Amino acid sequence: MSNIQRLIDDKQKYENMFWKKYHECEQLKQLLIDNNIRFDSIINHSSVKDKGIIVKLSRNLDYGFINTVNQSGIFFHITDCENFILSETMLNKEIEFKLNKENGRVKAVSVTYTPTINVKSNNDLLDILEDYESSSNNLTTSVKPVEKEILEKETLKTDDNDINNIIDKSNNVWYMNCHEHSLRYWDKLLEAGFVITWNKENRYKKILEMEINDIIAWYVRGNGYIAILQVKEKPKMNLTDDDLNFITNNGSIFPLDSKKREHWKSLTIKIPVKFLSVIDKDKCVNHKNIPSIGNWSYGFRGSNCIRPNNNEWSKQVIEMYKYMKNSLPL
């Protein structure tokens, strides 16, 4: 066979292969279109919720992925979480959701969490309430006081009068929270003598109205209360490069390039404080630690300053202070 004939045969061979694959692709495209139409119909008209497990969360805890028996990697966004706060504690938890299609992409919406519970005591119920944080901006739980346990330390020998006087002299007793990721540099904040929070789009400018000697109960989202603070200077948006170098331990805790540095400095509010009481990061204070407080406030959303309208709020802060002071040293 001549070289020319071989080339002609090869050309015909590859043309046949091309057109065969072309028609297969067209058939597959049509099949996908048909399936999408049917799938859309199911998504848009089904009111039945699917069950799945949260298997992965984003670094910033603003989205995640769900696995079900039949599907894996179903995307969901924090804005579609209806009755819980998206935190690392939700990993491997079973949730319910509906499927929706948005911009050609299937995602989970109306995501809800219902803990599997076995309530044998009031303390079990309080544990569940801490886990099952509402999306309300002003969440307060009302639970009947339960009997004190040995864990509560019946007699707390501390400077009770001091904290009472401090709160009496303060104009405001605030609640503020922080992202759990900030625990990476929490020890450096203790050394530095200040805390920080964000003021994105100037939404939290009320923080700048804090007064010297105001009290702050500092809450770690999804964990509990970690410190009681007293404001020593007016909050300002004056975070410096030296501050950033210190709290990041010169970048060894987490690196910041020049762009991220400017981002932090432009959005961060710095609050110089005295740490009146602090507890270990792994032992944050929750209602189960102080069951004598019947109307326990926690889990407010966002980093905005909130003055809970709960009539037991000041008492709760005093009891948290005493509990922290009487806990084992850090």
**Cα separation of 204 and 306, whole Å?**
10
Write down the mean pLDDT value for the chain: 78
Q: Where is mean pLDDT largest: 29-33, 85-89, 184-188, 197-201?
A: 184-188
- Domains in the chain (CATH in brackets) are 20-114 (2.40.50.140), 137-325 (3.10.590.10)
CB atoms within 10 A of CB 271: 22
126-138, pLDDT tens digit by residue?
A: 555 544 443 333 3
Q: What share of the chain is helix, strand, coil (3-state, %, to 5)?
A: 40, 25, 35
- Percent above pLDDT 90 for the chain: 31
Helix (H, G, I), strand (E, B) or coil at 37: helix
Residue 221 pLDDT: 84
- Is the pLDDT at 123 greater than 70? The verdict is no
Whose tokens are 């303060």? That residue is: 170
Report in angstroms the alpha-carbon separations of 201 from 62, 135, 205, 268.
Answer: 18, 21, 9, 11
- Is the pLDDT at 161 greater than 90? The verdict is no
Residue 150 pLDDT: 35
**Cα separation of 234 and 212, whole Å?**
6
- Percent above pLDDT 70 for the chain: 75
Residue 34 pLDDT: 60
Whose tokens are 């929706």? That residue is: 100
Token representation of residue 82? 């209806």
Among 7-21, 43-57, 146-160, 243-257, the range scoring the smallest mean pLDDT is: 146-160
Whose tokens are 């859309």? That residue is: 40
Cα 1 → chain centroid: 73
Query: In this structure, are strands 74-77 and 105-112 parallel, antiparallel, or unpaired?
Result: parallel
Residues 276-295 have a mean pLDDT of 91
